Chain A
Amino acid sequence: MAGGQERILRGRIRSVQATKKITRAMELIAASRIVKAQQRVVAAVPYSNLITEVVRDLSAGGAGSNKPFLSGRPEVKTVCYIAVAADRGLCGGYNTGVLRATESQIKLDAAAGRNHLVVPIGRKAEGYFKFRGYKMSKAFNGFTDNPPYAIAKEIGEYVVELFISGQVDRVELVYTRFVSSGNQEVVQRPLVPLGAEVVEGGDGKNTAGANYEFEPDPDLILDTLLPRYVEARVYASLLNAAASEHAFRQRAMKSATDNAEEIINNLSRIMNRARQDSITTEIMEIVGGAEALSSDKN
């Protein structure tokens, strides 16, 4: 009997060891990718800073002050949420964080009588909102751990089109901001319209924008610039989200590896005890048998 239990335990230990190897590998992969993702976040900063500056200069120069794209629409009927989650799970609370934040915002909107439209980024986001029956537009999948600029461009163009055609009156970005490898936070940022707080939200530097020369005229520049600006913002958030995803995954896999180790420890302790027990009973049986034999002879 006891020997059978020992064999079962040995099998379980082996299976946990195999799992541990997998989680350890995923942890190491995620850790190495954080660095690369972080570098990409940093590399995107100069462009996004410059383009923000240019937009600010333009609007300070008085361009397009009456455009809905900048000043917004008087009545907001439909809010669009770009929810940036991951394609894969196994990353702790990363997906749930973003999805819950988006969902609670949608509920607030519903209470205020506004409609919603979700643009899910990543398979997990698509699955979540589809299952719960939220109004969804086109989904963007398959790149979240390493987002290329072309995808950000596609998403940017898509939401700008949604806004221009009047299907939505506001666009919000929900993503996980990468503060440091130990700290990420879910944030919600307005994307369109680029209200005053968006455009002036930079370093607060007040350049004398009114003195600029423009070629071609400011409104025309603004028309070509604003979509680029939206794309740059989307791109920055995708990069942040990717870096955060790797950080979350690394942490989740690290604790999974630690747990596996603990389980292995416990199981081997139980297994050793079981083996010891079976040996003890065996000896007892032999001793008992020998005793019985010797008492027979006497």
Chain B
Amino acid sequence: MAEGSSALRVDVVSPERILFSGEARQVITRTLQGGEIAFLPGHAAFLGALTENHTRIYLVDGSIQHIAVHLGFVEVGPDHVSILSDSAELAQDIDVKRAKDAMTKAQEQLRTEVTTEAESALRRANARLAASGNTGSAASH
């Protein structure tokens, strides 16, 4: 099925603007509860809710666009992938220092008390760091 159409049209849109738009060979993202999921051209129609994650878009020119997506939805057809998110950040826009600070703060908070806000703050920071290429060292435990 894949050989019929060799590229996916990828749009990442937030309410305020189109964040990213381009042609890609593969898109990897992570759904709520599910796990990482990859879309190739010719994928069956798919609809998913996303968790805070590091989304990778493998562009046709061989480069990879990293995006930190903080919750949202993905809508997939055979020739397109649309990611809808309230807040998503391209790798080049991420403030690494701020994300690191946010992560340490969230971790400290989690040590004393486990709140859903702190947990999602930690996941957001992780997604940011992963997308910007600074894998959070204390992230995976």
Interface residues of A (CB under 8 A from B): 40, 43-44, 46-48, 50-51, 53-54, 57-58, 61, 149, 152-153, 208, 211-216, 218, 220-221, 224-225, 228, 231-232, 235
Q: Which of B29-37, B91-99, B115-123 binds A?
A: B29-37
The answer, among A61, A153, A212, A220, for a CB contact under 8 Å with B49, is: A220
Number of B residues, CB within 8 Å of A: 24
CA distance A214 to B11 in the complex (A): 19
CA distance A245 to B53 in the complex (A): 39
Given contacts A213-B44, A214-B48, contact A47 B15 (CB under 8 A): yes
The answer, among A50, A61, A215, A232, for a CB contact under 8 Å with B31, is: A215
Q: Which residues of A contact B2 (CB under 8 A)?
A: none
Given contacts A212-B46, A214-B48, A215-B48, contact A50 B32 (CB under 8 A): no
Q: Could you show 16 A-B contacts with beta carbons less than 8 Å apart?
A: A44-B16, A47-B84, A48-B15, A50-B13, A50-B82, A51-B73, A54-B75, A54-B84, A149-B86, A213-B45, A216-B49, A218-B47, A225-B49, A231-B15, A231-B86, A232-B15
Q: Which residues of B contact A57 (CB under 8 A)?
A: 47, 75
The answer, among A46, A54, A149, A152, for a CB contact under 8 Å with B47, is: A54
Q: Which residues of B contact A216 (CB under 8 A)?
A: 31-34, 48-49
Q: Is the CB of B86 within 8 A of A228?
A: yes
Q: Is the CB of B15 within 8 A of A152?
A: yes
Q: Is the CB of B14 within 8 A of A47?
A: yes
CA distance A228 to B48 in the complex (A): 14
CA distance A211 to B43 in the complex (A): 12
Q: Mark B71-99, 1 if CB is under 8 A from A, else 0.
A: 10101000000101010000000000000
Shortest CB distance B84–A (Å): 6
Shortest CB distance B31–A (Å): 5
Q: Which residues of A contact B15 (CB under 8 A)?
A: 44, 47-48, 149, 152, 231-232, 235
Q: Which 4 A-B pairs have the closest CB atoms?
A: A215-B48, A47-B13, A43-B17, A213-B46
Q: Is the interface of B mostly helix, strand, loop or mixed?
A: strand
Q: Is the CB of B73 within 8 A of A221?
A: yes
Q: Which residues of B contact A153 (CB under 8 A)?
A: 86
Q: Is the CB of A54 within 8 A of B73?
A: yes
Residue of A nearest to B87 (CB): A149
Is B1 part of the contact surface with A, judged by Cβ < 8 Å?
no
The answer, among B13, B44, B48, B75, for a CB contact under 8 Å with A46, is: B13
CA distance A51 to B37 in the complex (A): 21
Q: Is the CB of B16 within 8 A of A211?
A: no
Q: Is the CB of B47 within 8 A of A221?
A: yes
Q: Is the CB of A212 within 8 A of B14?
A: no
Residue of B nearest to A54 (CB): B75
Q: Which residues of A contact B73 (CB under 8 A)?
A: 51, 54, 221, 224-225, 228
CA distance A58 to B73 in the complex (A): 12
CA distance A5 to B11 in the complex (A): 70
Given contacts A50-B82, A54-B84, contact A215 B11 (CB under 8 A): no
Is B138 part of the contact surface with A, judged by Cβ < 8 Å?
no
Q: Is the CB of B13 within 8 A of A214?
A: no
Residue of A nearest to B14 (CB): A47
Q: Is the CB of B16 within 8 A of A213?
A: no
Q: Is the CB of A58 within 8 A of B34?
A: no
Shortest CB distance B81–A (Å): 11
Q: Which residues of B contact A53 (CB under 8 A)?
A: 75
CA distance A235 to B84 in the complex (A): 15
Q: Which residues of B contact A212 (CB under 8 A)?
A: 45-47
Shortest CB distance B75–A (Å): 5
Q: Is the CB of B47 within 8 A of A58?
A: yes
The answer, among B18, B49, B71, for a CB contact under 8 Å with A221, is: B49
Q: Is the CB of B45 within 8 A of A221?
A: no
The answer, among B46, B75, B86, for a CB contact under 8 Å with A50, is: B75
CA distance A149 to B16 in the complex (A): 7
CA distance A202 to B37 in the complex (A): 30
Q: Which residues of A contact B31 (CB under 8 A)?
A: 215-216
